[in-house]
Structure 1
């Protein structure tokens, strides 16, 4: 009634039909490193496992593409522009995309 989340104190925590399922998976990033892909909101464990398996089967760049937001992709794209465009153009693009999170 109050809107406060119960967390570990939830009486229905052991009920598998209560709540949503999430997964986390390490995928190759565009810079050769690893990136964590997280997805959630699945009604069943089987749905979450199937989505995790499908993401794991994709080639690295495609898997990363499925996990990035537009803002994150634009930041990556901007990092690749140094030296190719005028500095003021890159500065204007960066101001549109917004600052990097801290």
Structure 2
């Protein structure tokens, strides 16, 4: 089959259009894929930070608890706690004995 000049030009245009479409589709896919991949990384990154923050909060709470007991221990060495008082009778039993 013999193509004239216009036929060759049309075939060339068709090939160029197919090539353009293929490149455009590939680049669109890559852009979309890298964009969603970046979102996934950002989400994971945020979760890693949230998880680390939770660990830090737990650690800090635990450390505060220990620091508080350490301070109380030091205070007891300096000034011991007063002895507990004897329990008082309940107000509704003011000295009365019920049998």
So what's the TM-score if we normalise by structure 2? 0.24
- With CA pairs under 8 Å and 6+ residues apart, which has the higher RCO, 1 or 2? 1
Q: Counting helix residues as a fraction of each chain, which structure ranks higher?
A: 2
Q: Counting strand residues as a fraction of each chain, which structure ranks higher?
A: 1
